[in-house]
Amino acid sequence: MKKKIAALAAAGAILLSAATVFAGKPTNTPNNGNSHPKATGQIWMDNPEQQMDFNAHDMGDSEEDKGEVEYWNYEYSGGTLHYKTDVLCANVEGDEAYFMFQIPDGWPISGLYVVSWVKDGGTPGTNGDEYGHTATSNKETAYGWCEEGSASVTTYDIVDGNLVVHYSDGEGENGGSNGPVVLSSSNKDNMCTTIPSGNIEDSQGNTIYPGFNSYGYNYQAHLTNQGIEEYCQQRNDIPEGKPGHWDYGDCIAYFEKAPFELVMKWNDAWLSNKDCDEDGLLDRHYGYETYIGSGAWLTNHQRGEYENGAPGNMCHWTYFVKIVAKPTEDYNCEDNGGQEIWGSFCIIESVYNDICADYAGLEFKSQHPGFGYYKP
């Protein structure tokens, strides 16, 4: 099924072209939070590559605490570890928070209680933000670590995203030592146009909205989640003659007996969720003339199946790849164990599993497989 992977690889290239950022149709709108102490965030971590989306609400009593965690570990030995679960305890104090949850059924490590610790660095983005976690099989121990703020955690480098700890000391919503950050007019982020403003458009003049659009893109969250229909419709809507155009019927026919899912994630340097250069479009490699040296990265995670021989005999495959902008113009991807792609980028890790085609696991990993190495 290498031919399917080759075809899907164009999806990452689509994000590089300003002509193919499509607003699509909005499917949801953002919600406002409440005034009690809480910690929220969407962060990506390195070594191993992980992602966590969380909201943990400290209601003053563990029995009333609430929230939700969604977690991914893309380098888990049994395949991507992914689950969603409820927060069982939250303890927010100052610029730090502890929250606890249990790994749900379906994994060898199911049943473990995880206690996470976060610290808000006080500025938008990853600068100063910290994350760590630990785990135990004992529920009472986990509650104690959370409620007392005494967990000894393993910390992981946050390479993208943002987390915020909202602490209230009775002075009103988010008062106290670490309320929401109020930026001065001199801070560039305060001068940027954001997607919720409704004042950012795609290259076709359509407004980009928060949430997932009809193509499966969520530009606010730096996330794409597509099936065949969304993928083929997006490719079809690229104007004929432009890179990436693919007739919808031809695309559907190509994948008719081989359904797939495509998930892409990227950082702000690859494609921002703001317009800071005042051109009315989402920024790319802001502050840099080109992608080179910007620290831009993209992950591409695919899974699917295809018929092999007799009707109904289905083979399953998965593919995961990490792509990063070259740190310098003369950086040689191959000399460092990776592969060059699109001229200015390196594939730094590739994992492909397809038992029917005798592909099993890691294809290659560069000498520097973590995104942190390429940060400017």
The confidence score (pLDDT) of residue 14 equals: 56
**Domain presence at residue 185:** no
| pTM, 2 dp | 0.60
AA letter at 284: R
pLDDT tens readout for residues 306-345: 888 777 788 889 999 999 999 999 999 999 999 999 999 9
The confidence score (pLDDT) of residue 10 equals: 54
**Domain presence at residue 326:** yes
The confidence score (pLDDT) of residue 203 equals: 73
The confidence score (pLDDT) of residue 24 equals: 52
The confidence score (pLDDT) of residue 160 equals: 80
Cis peptide before 48 (omega within 30 of 0): yes
The confidence score (pLDDT) of residue 313 equals: 82
pLDDT tens readout for residues 152-201: 999 999 888 888 898 754 433 333 333 333 333 334 455 799 999 899 98
The confidence score (pLDDT) of residue 110 equals: 95
CA distance 57 to 65: 6
Mean pLDDT of 345-359: 91
pLDDT tens readout for residues 230-276: 989 988 988 888 888 899 999 999 888 788 899 999 999 999 999 99
**Domain presence at residue 152:** yes
Domain edge (last residue) among 134, 152, 167? 167
Same domain membership, residue 351 and residue 240: yes
Tell me the residue range of the domain where 273 lies: 2-24+192-374
Mean pLDDT of 3-12: 50
**Helix and strand totals (H; E) in the chain:** 5, 19
How many domains does the chain fold into? 2
Same domain membership, residue 199 and residue 114: no
The pLDDT mean for the chain works out to: 83
**Domain presence at residue 113:** yes
**Domain presence at residue 63:** yes
Residue whose tokens read 């969604």: 70
Q: Is residue 137 packed enough to be buried (19+ CB in 10 Å), middle (13-18) or exposed (0-12)? A: exposed
Mean pLDDT of 346-374: 90
Same domain membership, residue 154 and residue 93: yes
**Domain presence at residue 184:** no
The confidence score (pLDDT) of residue 359 equals: 87
Window from 7-21, 74-88, 117-131, 271-285 with minimum mean pLDDT: 7-21
pLDDT tens readout for residues 201-218: 887 778 999 888 888 889
Asked if 42 contacts 160 with a C-beta cutoff of 8 angstroms, the reply is no
**Domain presence at residue 308:** yes
CA distance 42 to 221: 8
Same domain membership, residue 18 and residue 104: no
The confidence score (pLDDT) of residue 237 equals: 87
Same domain membership, residue 240 and residue 326: yes
Window from 26-35, 240-249, 263-272, 292-301 with minimum mean pLDDT: 26-35
CA distances from 92 to 123, 190, 305, 319 (A): 18, 27, 45, 39
pLDDT tens readout for residues 82-129: 999 999 999 998 899 999 999 999 999 999 999 999 999 876 556 688
Same domain membership, residue 43 and residue 120: yes
Same domain membership, residue 197 and residue 115: no
The angle formed by the CA atoms of residues 151, 154 and 159, to the nearest 5 degrees, is 125
Same domain membership, residue 122 and residue 150: yes
**Domain presence at residue 182:** no
Same domain membership, residue 120 and residue 79: yes
Same domain membership, residue 44 and residue 9: no
The confidence score (pLDDT) of residue 13 equals: 58
Same domain membership, residue 351 and residue 204: yes
Same domain membership, residue 147 and residue 242: no
